[in-house]
Amino acid sequence: MDAVALTVGGNAAAAVDAERARFPHCVVWTPLPIVSWLSPLIGHVGICRADGVILDFAGPFFVNVDGFAFGSPAKFLRLDPDQCCFPAFALSGHRCREAFRHSQLGTASDWDDALRSCMHKFQHKTYNFFTCNCHSFVSTCLNRAAYQGRTDWNMIHIVALVHCRGHWIGPAALLRSLAPFVLVLCIGLLTAGWPFLVGWALISSLLAAWFVFATCCARGVADC
């Protein structure tokens, strides 16, 4: 993909340049080895600064800067920084509908400041695939920026955003993301038959149920 300038909020936004891995104000996604082969909705996500540099929570006490873990992005979703709330003071000047909660969570002066403060926070966090992961980092950044006036972003929201509104980088990205899953599914059906499909569906359902439960029902479990 060549550098492409997109329009966001009625204004020309900085160009997305997949060749240089520059995705200004974007959430980016890439498949995880083995895990995405079994469940293609699961992957690794990061969020990008205004200059397009990717930040991603990649392990215990470690936030990657300009070195996206698990390969180059396969999908991206452009966000509109004009939909964020950056108040001049902690308790005044809010554009979001949850000013008090936003102040409690912490505010920021601009997009990069929101990402920077969350990066510093997660550099003191232990990574856990089930409770405190890369999706947690991205949702925390959106909460700090009060994106779309909200401070309740979570892992499920990030998955939905990326897969419902995101754009594939290109045909090659689509192929490397979905081909392994299709191949594993075909091999499983050919060798084990329908029991494989039933087992796969059961494991996928349990995994999805856990994330929904931890995120929406027992919120303290998945709080970073």
Token reading at 54: 């990717």
- Residue 9 banded pLDDT, cuts 50, 70, 90: very low
Q: Say whether pLDDT at 220 is over 90.
A: no
Secondary structure class of 69 (helix, strand, coil):
coil
For residue 222, tell me if it sits in a domain. no
Secondary structure class of 108 (helix, strand, coil):
coil
Burial grade of 10 (CB within 10 A; 0-12, 13-18, 19 or more): exposed
For residue 175, tell me if it sits in a domain. yes
For residue 186, tell me if it sits in a domain. no
For residue 104, tell me if it sits in a domain. yes
Contact criterion met (CB below 8 Å) for 35 and 42: yes
Q: Say whether pLDDT at 211 is over 80.
A: yes
Domain count, the chain: 1
Q: Say whether pLDDT at 12 is over 70.
A: no
Domain with 35, as residue range(s), is: 4-180
Tell the residue number behind the tokens 């359902």, with chain if given: 205
Which of 40, 46, 48, 51 lies closest to 173 in space, CA to CA?
A: 40
Rounded Cα distance between 44 and 216, Å, is: 21
Rounded Cα distance between 13 and 4, Å, is: 10
Rounded Cα distance between 87 and 94, Å, is: 5
pLDDT digits (tens, 9 = 90+) for 14-36: 789 999 999 999 999 999 999 99
What is the enclosing helix (H) or strand (E) of 194? helix 194-212
What pTM was estimated for this model as a whole?
A: 0.89
Mean pLDDT of all residues in 146-169: 94
For residue 170, tell me if it sits in a domain. yes
The number of beta carbons lying within 10 Å of the beta carbon of residue 98 is: 17
What is the enclosing helix (H) or strand (E) of 123? none
More confident residue, 87 or 54: 54
